[in-house]
Amino acid sequence: MCRHLAYLGPEVALGRLLNEPEHSLVRQSWEPRRQRSGTVNADGFGVGWYAEGDPVPARYRRSGPIWSDLGFADLARVVRSGAALAAVRDATQAGADGEAAAAPFADGPWLFSHNGAVRDWPDSVAPLAAALPPRELLRLTARTDSALIWALVLQRLRAGDPLGAALAEPVREVASAAPGSRLNLLLTDGVTIAATAWGDSLWYLADARVGRAVVASEPYDDDTRWCEVPDRTLLTATRTRVELTPLKENSP
């Protein structure tokens, strides 16, 4: 379900990152190479990016397929950024939430995406939702599993957790409540990227010499330096380093 990508590095036009590579995120919307569930990601898309001197990212999201949006193609040609997160969506369940259900979700300096699905949604995770403050439930922007996971992550970010920890605990909680869920999460604040591999593919491409890190559901080209992240792993990356940490499920 879905494909996503986060980038940190030298300033680049969004089109060079998302449109131009041979197996770009745009192409992955209709022809993913390593997607384990679903074949077409046409239920919306979005991109968030950071402008120099502004910690709050801008976003462009739509409810239709990315390949049909001529406005996005024009925007991507001219907008440049040194940090971005983008996603194309294959909906877990059909719904009427439109672009509100499309990643990236955002709050303050953070951008977030979920590639996967919560098994037996929503009943399996009802206790996790009930444990959230009512005001957080009222602020959910969509009636989706991804929006609930974002609320769980955001609660930890606001409490001061670093990006990696803010992803790791919600993954363990949801996996414990809904075994068999696919929980590949992607998060950035424009300085660091955190991601989880849990049930679907995740890769990274890093070059410390130029200060670049790309984390993606799958490689967008055939560069031999792409590295696959093992399943049940937390990845954290800056422009100059990548760290991988095994993730374990919570004990019963």
What burial class does residue 79 get, using C-beta atoms within 10 Å of its C-beta: 0-12 exposed, 13-18 middle, 19+ buried? Answer: middle
Told to judge if 2 belongs to the known catalytic residues of this protein, a careful annotator would answer yes
Give the gyration radius of the chain's Cα atoms.
Answer: 17
Contacts of 71 (CB under 8 A, 6+ apart): none
- The DSSP secondary-structure symbol of 41 reads -
- The catalytic position among 1, 2, 157, 237 is 2
Q: Rounded to whole angstroms, how far apart are CA atoms 143 and 16?
A: 33
**CA distances for 93 relative to 28, 60, 206, angstroms:** 20, 22, 35
Longest dimension (CA), the chain: 51
Give ∠ CA 186-173-8 in degrees, rounded to 5.
15
Active site residues: 2
